[in-house]
Amino acid sequence: MGTDLGTVHRHPATSPFAASRSEESARLCGRCFARNYAGETYCKVCGEALPAEVANLDESATRRIEAPAVRGCLTLFVEDGGNEIDLPIDSDVVLVGRASVVDGVYPDIDLAPFDGGNYVSRRHAFIMRRHGSFIIEDLESTNGTSLNGSQRLVSHAPTPLRHGDKITFGETRVTFTAETVPQA
């Protein structure tokens, strides 16, 4: 008999409660420094719990320093067919892992097709582009993340990536490449 309020949709411009996103206060994520709006409790980029305090950001108080544009890629060598598969890093924060429909996990780079033994965790690692370079962060994966064959990464400790680094996610090996994007 009552109205289902869950199906009421308003266009943001017509809502009497709509406020410009630039006018709202924001919460900055302590892990990836993404700007999240006041009503959010977890970072929209990396999923980290946001601090309780809200910061009023004055966009004119700082100026953005332009870092060189870089592009990254993970190259996977498939032993059965002898092929190489390029897995581009398309955004500033990329989740590497194994997709799971049951758990609702859909990583940006899904290594499930190349991980027959399920050694890659659902949420295995982040690769982040910051200030013209890349870092990798293991997310408490079960079988770990190794860099260049010997260095096992400490969970939640951002580690710089360099062109040509060999990364092992569980038992899946890839090569990281980075290049500067020419300015137009």
At which of 63, 81, 97 does a domain end?
Answer: 63
Q: Are residues 50 and 83 in the same domain?
A: no
The HSE-up count of residue 54 (CA atoms within 13 Å, CB side) is: 10
pLDDT at 165: 96
Q: Is residue 55 part of a domain?
A: yes
Q: Are residues 45 and 91 in the same domain?
A: no
Q: What is the CATH number of the domain that holds 74?
A: 2.60.200.20
Domain hosting 32: range is 18-63
Q: Is residue 56 part of a domain?
A: yes
Q: Is residue 131 part of a domain?
A: yes
Q: How many domains does the chain have?
A: 2
For 171, counting Cβ atoms within 10 Å of its Cβ (0-12 exposed, 13-18 middle, 19+ buried), the class is middle
At which of 63, 83, 118 does a domain end?
Answer: 63
pLDDT tens, position by position, 140-180: 999 999 999 888 999 999 999 999 999 999 999 999 999 88
pLDDT at 54: 61
Residues of the chain below pLDDT 50? 1-23
